[in-house]
Structure 1
Amino acid sequence: MIRLPPKARPEDMLLARDGTLWVAEASLAAIAQIAPSGKVTQHPLPRDEGFAPIPSDLAQSPDGGIWYAAGDQLGHLSRSGKFTWWNDGSSQGNGPGEGDGVPGWPDALALGPDGTIWYEHSAAGRKVFSRVDTKQGPTRITQLDTQFDVGAMTLGPDGAVWFTQRDEYDAKQREGIGRLTPDGKYRKWPLPAGSTPGALVTGPDRALWFTNLGSINRLDTDGSLARYPIRNATYPSDIAVGSDKSLWFTTDHRLGRLTTKGRMTLWPVPDAEELGALVPAEDGSFWLADRKTDTLRRFTPPQ
């Protein structure tokens, strides 16, 4: 177990190929870098006259560093601790995201099909998708004539970027799963009323798997939807593909496993209180972020 500083509130984690664990500490406006030896290095986020950075989503960078979203800040952190970043600043003109080369309050990130980081944000009441790299900075992909919140993004099995979306303005069904192609074409698959889609991952079966109210859901790329209820759970937090090619998820103080055939198993994690982000390790164990106790737990499910 690794203890983070008090009130760190870990929101997201990444496990790099070299064994480094990266953690977004939302309440500290920092990112923790944890070496395989267990050494913790804190990286306070840079800031200027803009809004306070609140890191919430991390994405692996092709160069070995990470990308992060933090309030109106979008940035890259190298393995050596160097920041490259952009924000909207204090003068926002017509609103967040309206200026050239500013991120506009990004919420979710994913490695896109072109090797850059794709993200979503808002501008003048419309939903915008953009890409970013350290050389060119933020550039727009497309702007939609609608507005909604994005919970998570992932590169799909078809070369498009998929995402969970909620609260679409003036839509008959406000929740759904969205898809954006490399040339900027958007499509939405509406979800049943009462859905609250959250974390999202591409499964080993070339389908999209996501957390929902009291369940894990599966969406084929043709739009076929299946729901797998979780007993005694209200809302699962995170989902990932494990080394066994199953779907793993966190819910309250438990770790869950769901096979692509629909078999579900749940394990209570000793002393855990509010599990959020999880990352699988190659040996079959998992790193689990406990938001309530500000700890990172290494847990291996019983055989």
Structure 2
Amino acid sequence: MILLPGNASPGDMIRSDDGTLWVTESALAAIAEIAPSGKVTQHPLPRDGGLLPAPADLQESPDGGIWYTAGDQIGRLGPSGKFTWWSDSYGAPGNGPGASADGPGFPDALTLGPDDTIWFDHSDRGSKVFSRADAKRGLDRITRLKTQFDVGAGGMALGPDGAVWFSQKNEYGAKQHEGIGRLTAEGDYKKWPLPKNSAPNDIVAGPDEALWFTDRRSIGRMDTDGGLTHFPVHGSKYPSDIVLGPDKALWFTTDHRVGRIATQGKLKGKVILWPVRGAKNLTALVPATEGSFWLADRDTATLLRFTPPG
């Protein structure tokens, strides 16, 4: 177990190839770096006098940096600990190359796109916008949609078809407020509606050429043609993070438990849940070594090591 500051409120977490963990600390406006030795280094996010930059989503970049979204800010934490960032606060463009007065417009989710740049969603005058971020070239708009909806941290992933897929909820003015969206490198957008009150959350590409996502009471699966299947998670409050495990199954967090769902074979869709001792509100998990996982717990401000039984 690794203790973070008591008010850290850890959320998203990723693990680098060298075993380093990176964790958002929304209440501290910081990103924690945890070395394999267990040493914790705090990286307070830069500020320009505007809103508190509460980090939400993380993504490792091919160049070794860590990208993040935080309030009205998107940025990159480089291997040396230096930040490059863009912000909307008070019209300030931040200090990133190519930054303009338009800014990133309150970004939510981000992912590594098909062109090896960071793709992210944000708002602009009542519309949903998707843009690219590059540490050297700055921000570049992909497309602007004539609608507004929430994506949320972790709700965007590169699909097996080379397009970016994302969860949609609270779509303003739509008959169906929930859905799964798809965006190509050319800016072509399509949405598949979900059942009412699904509230889709995190999304990940599975090993079966499909997209898997968590929602209010289940794990959803959508193939690249839009075929949808739901697998209930009985007694769950709200499945949250979902990742591909080393066993080619998908693993997820839900309240104080870790779940596993099979993606292939006769057991496809079978869900198993394990309670985690000492856990209260698990927000993220990442595969570690030898079949174990690191878990982030928001309520206890701890990182827990979990090994599934048997």
Normalised TM-score (structure 2): 0.94
Residues 163-207 of structure 1 deviation map (CA, whole Å, 9 limit, x = unaligned): 001011111111000000000010000001121100110000010
2:131 aligns to what? 130
2:3 aligns to what? 3
1:234 aligns to what? 237
Paired letter, 2:53: P
Alignment coverage as a number of residue pairs: 299
- Equivalents in 1 of 2:11, 2:275: separation in Å? 20
Matched, 1:284 2:275: no
Alignment check: 8 A CA contact 1:16 1:60 kept: yes
2:215 aligns to what? 212
- Equivalents in 2 of 1:172, 1:25: separation in Å? 36
- Equivalents in 2 of 1:169, 1:271: separation in Å? 39
Normalised TM-score (structure 1): 0.96
- Equivalents in 1 of 2:237, 2:173: separation in Å? 27
Alignment check: 8 A CA contact 2:48 2:92 kept: no
Alignment check: 8 A CA contact 1:243 1:282 kept: no
- Equivalents in 2 of 1:47, 1:239: separation in Å? 31
- Equivalents in 1 of 2:297, 2:289: separation in Å? 21
1:58 aligns to what? 58
Alignment check: 8 A CA contact 1:248 1:258 kept: yes
2:164 aligns to what? 161
How many Å apart are 1:102 and its aligned residue? 1.3
Alignment check: 8 A CA contact 1:113 1:182 kept: yes
Q: Provide the secondary structure at the position in 2 that maps to 1:237.
A: coil
- Equivalents in 2 of 1:75, 1:112: separation in Å? 16
Match of 1:188 among 183, 191, 194: 191
Runs of at least 4 residues off by over 2 Å: 98-101
Alignment check: 8 A CA contact 1:7 1:27 kept: yes
Paired letter, 2:285: L
RMSD: 1.4
Q: Provide the secondary structure at the position in 2 that maps to 1:41.
A: strand
1:296 aligns to what? 303
- Equivalents in 2 of 1:99, 1:81: separation in Å? 24
Match of 1:199 among 202, 207, 210: 202
Q: Which runs of 5+ in 2 are unaligned?
A: 94-98
Superposition map of 1:41-120 within 5 A: 41-91=41-91, 100=101, 102-120=103-121
